[in-house]
Chain A
Amino acid sequence: MNFDDTPEEAAFRARARTWLAANAPHELEPELKLSGFAALRLESVDPLAAAKAWQRKKYEAGWAAVGWPKAYGGAEASPIEQVIWKEEEGVFAKLGGPFSIGLGMCGPTVMAWASEAQKRELLPRLASGEDIWCQLFSEPVAGSDLAGIRTRAELRGDQWIVNGQKIWTSGARNADWGLLITRTDPTVAKHRGLTMFFLDMKSPGVEVRPIRQMNEDSAFNEVYFTDVAIPDSQRLGAVGQGWTVALTTLMNERMSIGGGMPTGFPELFGLCAELGLLEDSGVVSRLAQFAVKASGLKYSAFRSISALSRGEQPGPENSIGKLVAGAMMQEIAQYAVDLEGESGLILEAGLAPDGGRFQAMLLRSPATRIEGGSDEVLRNIIAERVLGLPADIRVDKDLPFKDVPTGAARS
């Protein structure tokens, strides 16, 4: 049992460190350190321009999409090298926000299902930050029940005509390409009537509307489709195979190693120290319980990394990260604001305690428990795939999709 790199890993880490020392945008470091909890906030420069510049620089030096094949713009780094790169990139990885969905989910799906020519065309542009991708999955009626989507795609000649609405699409306003799941056959059972496409987000009939979130930010969008034409050549997988293709995307979402998610614990500890509360037994108890969750996540991630280093897949311990970190962030925000007394109510920039850090967490954290698999979905996954408990009874499983009961049909 040790925390040491193998000689190969140490050499890779040294190369990464040397390159970062010479090339990272160190002038942004102070601002990036303060930027956190889901949104990239930069005052001194345009955040998107800074993100694109950093991605391009990494791409040219072979540090973008490090795990991808070289032919598609990557560096063919092993899984453990990818982890090492992420550790070394550190705070600068926050600049990768606009590309994370493309690199983490859309790219791997394209890699698994698109033609060779399409892969060689699209993936290097994604890796270099030239193209931004978004993922058009959730709908107003289909969140956790993703296979219940209703956006229709109908074949006319060699084109598909798409009508419907997506929601909760991160980064849709800046996106060049979208990965779109549609319903192509409502007469068969819901999982069987789906088909996946990718489309140019500038296509006529695509309308992006920002959502004003409860925290006043607008990172999420609604995307409306009115008679949008997509060439059949941009279909991923067979007609009716969309659910299988979607699972590729979702698997990649869940493959990412946990432990990278912030929990707010170091910040809370700092606040308690600053307020002179470390002798208060109530505070001590809460801090200790948060501390063991934070360290538990950290060392669970180390266990996963060790499995990668041995050339194995991480075990199921990797599934607990977001479930624990998401809820913890919300609890910590509430507790920190408690400790701030009435001044905890101040949201105004420049006046709020600790730069308004915990107030921002308070208002953002509810989303963390829902996005990318809600707490409830994650518990089901653990119960079914790790503990082997039976799946819930699904009353809509074998019905033709058009006959599945909905809230609207009941009234």
Chain B
Amino acid sequence: MQFDFSEDQKALQAEVRRFFERESPISGVRKLIDDPAASHDAALWARVGEAGYLAAAIPEAFGGAGAGYLELCLVAQEAGRALAPLPAASSIYQAAELLLMAGDEAQRKAWLPRLASGQAIATVALGETVGEATPDSIVARVAGGRLSGVKLPVSDGMAADLAIVAAQGDAGLGLYLVALDGPGVARRPIKAVDPSRKQAEIRFDGASAEPLGAPGRGWALLSAMRDRAAVLVAFEQIGGAQAALEMARDYALGRYAFGRPIGSFQAIKHMLADMYVALELARSNAYYGAWALATDAPQLPLAAASARVAAIQAYKLCSSNNIQAHGGMGFTWEFDCHLHYRRARYLASVIGATPLWERRLVDAYRRAA
């Protein structure tokens, strides 16, 4: 059994970590946060595109690196660790996956090379109302190749060139490719919980929409895509949770109270030990997800849901307890603790939150039993 990443994969991970340390310092994250007009860190996105890191799982025929999903998982982990302000979850984990799953040759050729190189950004536009989206909750509609409706919020909606929009068609819910620079598209930035991953409102009024995948298959495609994205997002969460735990540890070692490092008090030690335990459980579940994703295993729904539920829990715990370990300073804008707290929330909500995935997990267990 080698239930672990290979030496080559670990070497790539170390290289990607150095890349983000060099190219995506926390000052870059803060610059983006402080600029409400900015849609994303375009310079960083271009450098990631040049390096080809996020194109790891896109086949070479479509301009990708053709390395594989295990490599992409480790890239995601390092992006999460660095709090990198990239539209990766939208453009790579979700949109590129949908194009690979359902796109015809022309659609793949038109978009995947540009997504792989970072020359274009895509996103998925699903939700419209409060609560998790369902096939019936979507009101947006396509008739005669024209899309009308309002999508709110859309992750990276200002940065994106292309949206994959869920909308009702003649055969039921379908997915549609919509170029966001065309007529009939109006969008505006929305202030969001995690300002390092921007949100937008997009209004479609007769925008030109091209079907992606078979008509009426939209929900099935989204659902299958989410299993794949869940594993990749889980690795971002693990990277973030690890960074938050290390921040808390370092602060607990350096901060003195009552004449000793606060890290010598069992109240703090045990809190940090619990963070470590949650992180390791999440990491092991995510490895299972990575294996299932990389091998296209029939266990993917179970593995993905396990990875997601555990990773959400771990990053929430680590990011909130990191603030707690820092005391009042953790509540300041100046300290970076809130950046993890915000990112943990973003990653916990995008592609569906805990209650939805708990249900998917138990359903997968039932089918496996």
Interface of A toward B, CB cutoff 8 Å: 1-5, 9, 269, 273, 278, 281, 284-285, 287-289, 291-293, 295-300, 302-303, 305-307, 309-310, 316-317, 320, 323-324, 376, 378-380, 382-384, 386-393
Binds A, one of B126-134, B154-162, B198-206, B261-269: B261-269
Q: A302-B3, A382-B273 are in contact. Are A295 and B306 (CB under 8 A)?
A: yes
Name the one of A9, A309, A391 contacting B264, with C-beta atoms under 8 angstroms: A391
Q: A3-B3, A296-B310, A302-B284 are in contact. Are A379 and B358 (CB under 8 A)?
A: no
Rounded to whole Å, the gap between the CB of A4 and the closest CB of chain B is 7
B263 and A390 contacting across the interface, CB-CB below 8 Å:
yes
A317 and B264 contacting across the interface, CB-CB below 8 Å:
no
Q: Which residues of B contact A288 (CB under 8 A)?
A: 305, 309, 357-359, 361-362
Rounded to whole Å, the gap between the CB of A302 and the closest CB of chain B is 4
A36 to B297: give the CA distance in the assembly, Å. 32
Rounded to whole Å, the gap between the CB of A356 and the closest CB of chain B is 23
A306 and B276 contacting across the interface, CB-CB below 8 Å:
no
Interface of B toward A, CB cutoff 8 Å: 1-6, 70, 245, 249, 252-253, 260-261, 263-264, 266, 268-270, 272-274, 276-277, 280-285, 287-288, 290-291, 294, 305-306, 309-310, 313, 355, 357-359, 361-362, 365-366, 369
A394 to B281: give the CA distance in the assembly, Å. 32
Interface centre among B273, B276, B291 (most CB of A within 10 A): B273
B1 and A389 contacting across the interface, CB-CB below 8 Å:
no
Q: Which residues of A contact B290 (CB under 8 A)?
A: 1
Q: Which residues of A contact B269 (CB under 8 A)?
A: 379-380, 383-384, 387, 389
Rounded to whole Å, the gap between the CB of A120 and the closest CB of chain B is 35
Q: Which residues of A contact B281 (CB under 8 A)?
A: 292-293, 296-297, 300, 320, 324
Q: A380-B266, A389-B252 are in contact. Are A284 and B359 (CB under 8 A)?
A: yes
A382 and B4 contacting across the interface, CB-CB below 8 Å:
no
A391 to B264: give the CA distance in the assembly, Å. 6
Q: Which residues of B contact A376 (CB under 8 A)?
A: 266, 270
A320 and B266 contacting across the interface, CB-CB below 8 Å:
no
**DSSP majority for the A interface?**
helix
Q: A1-B70, A306-B1 are in contact. Are A281 and B277 (CB under 8 A)?
A: no
Name the one of A2, A296, A391 contacting B285, with C-beta atoms under 8 angstroms: A296
A284 and B362 contacting across the interface, CB-CB below 8 Å:
yes
B355 and A285 contacting across the interface, CB-CB below 8 Å:
yes
Q: Which residues of B contact A300 (CB under 8 A)?
A: 280-281, 284
Name the one of B3, B264, B266, B276 contacting A303, with C-beta atoms under 8 angstroms: B3
Q: A1-B4, A297-B281 are in contact. Are A292 and B361 (CB under 8 A)?
A: yes
**DSSP majority for the B interface?**
helix
Rounded to whole Å, the gap between the CB of B282 and the closest CB of chain A is 7
A285 and B284 contacting across the interface, CB-CB below 8 Å:
no
A383 to B94: give the CA distance in the assembly, Å. 37
Rounded to whole Å, the gap between the CB of A368 and the closest CB of chain B is 16
Q: Which residues of B contact A299 (CB under 8 A)?
A: 3, 284-285, 287-288
B358 and A289 contacting across the interface, CB-CB below 8 Å:
yes
A267 to B244: give the CA distance in the assembly, Å. 35
Rounded to whole Å, the gap between the CB of A281 and the closest CB of chain B is 7
A–B complex contacts, Cβ < 8 Å, 15 sampled? A287-B358, A288-B309, A291-B361, A296-B310, A299-B3, A300-B281, A300-B284, A302-B1, A305-B1, A306-B4, A317-B280, A320-B277, A383-B270, A387-B276, A389-B264
Residue of A nearest to B287 (CB): A299
Residue of B nearest to A380 (CB): B269
A242 to B310: give the CA distance in the assembly, Å. 42
A1 to B245: give the CA distance in the assembly, Å. 26
Q: Which residues of A contact B263 (CB under 8 A)?
A: 383, 389-390
Name the one of A289, A292, A305, A320 contacting B3, with C-beta atoms under 8 angstroms: A305
Rounded to whole Å, the gap between the CB of B253 and the closest CB of chain A is 7
Q: A299-B3, A302-B1, A382-B277 are in contact. Are A1 and B291 (CB under 8 A)?
A: yes
B1 and A289 contacting across the interface, CB-CB below 8 Å:
no
A71 to B264: give the CA distance in the assembly, Å. 46
